[in-house]
């Protein structure tokens, strides 16, 4: 990796980062969940069309088994649809001015000025060279978690470069030694 003009060392130059569910996981998840959801929906529609709630189960009327089947079917159907929605909607974006996230119909955008601190949480063994942070957490003014980034993220070097730029511009974001050490090491490369 080339040395960066802004952050120094081996980090890439800060650039906007968009994180989400990988294409492969989206594809596999959709290929598994869509037929399941469609099959359940078709069976429930067949029961409604037949006018008999037990028809898809080879029974007639409402019994305990039919009621349990409907409950399980509706829960699995809702879970499948929600899971596909999460696969396709989850997104975190980080740039020079803000961090934003979206999940289904929920979302939030937080400007860098509204972030009170960046902190390292936990650590995990990385290599003989040392530990990696368990996560980098951005906290708002009231201490609420605004965003969390982990070294396992596919674009971790870009995330770290962007947050290093945030810290360069706003040193007050770092309030503890572990976090300071991480950003110092990232800046030095």
Q: Are residues 103 and 172 in the same domain?
A: yes
Residue 131 confidence class, pLDDT cut points 50, 70, 90: low
Strand ranges, E, within the chain: 17-20, 91-94, 98-103, 106-111, 115-127, 130-140, 145-149
In a domain, 11, yes or no: no
Instruction: Report pLDDT digits (tens) over 61-92.
Output: 888 888 999 999 999 999 999 999 999 999 98
Q: Are residues 80 and 115 in the same domain?
A: no
In a domain, 8, yes or no: no
Is residue 97 scored above 50 in pLDDT?
A: yes
User: Tokens 């929600």 — which residue?
Assistant: 82
- Orientation angle between helical segments 156-169 and 177-188, nearest 10 degrees: 110
Query: Could you give the number of structural domains in the chain?
Result: 2
Output the six-digit token pair for 121: 């949480």
User: How far apart are the C-alpha atoms of 59 and 41, rounded to whole Å?
Assistant: 18
Is residue 10 scored above 70 in pLDDT?
A: no
Q: Are residues 83 and 101 in the same domain?
A: no
Q: Are residues 52 and 125 in the same domain?
A: no
């Amino acid at each position: 990796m080339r040395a960066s003009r802004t952050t120094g060392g081996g980090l890439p130059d800060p650039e906007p980062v968009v994180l989400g569910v990988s294409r492969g996981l989206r594809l596999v998840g959709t290929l598994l969940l869509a037929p399941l959801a469609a099959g359940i929906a078709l069976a429930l529609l067949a029961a409604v069309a037949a006018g008999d709630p037990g028809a898809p189960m080879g029974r007639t009327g409402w019994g305990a088994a039919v009621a349990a089947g409907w409950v399980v079917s509706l829960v699995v159907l809702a879970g499948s649809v929600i899971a596909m929605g999460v696969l396709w909607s989850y997104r975190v974006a980080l740039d020079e001015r803000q961090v934003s996230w979206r999940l289904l119909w929920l979302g939030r955008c937080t400007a860098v000025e509204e972030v009170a601190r960046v902190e390292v949480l936990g650590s995990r063994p990385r290599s003989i060279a040392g530990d990696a942070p368990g996560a980098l957490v951005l906290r708002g003014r009231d201490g609420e978690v605004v965003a969390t980034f982990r070294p396992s993220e596919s674009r971790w070097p870009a995330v770290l470069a962007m947050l290093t730029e945030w810290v360069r511009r706003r040193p007050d974001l770092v309030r503890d030694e572990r976090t300071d050490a991480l950003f110092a090491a990232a800046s030095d490369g």
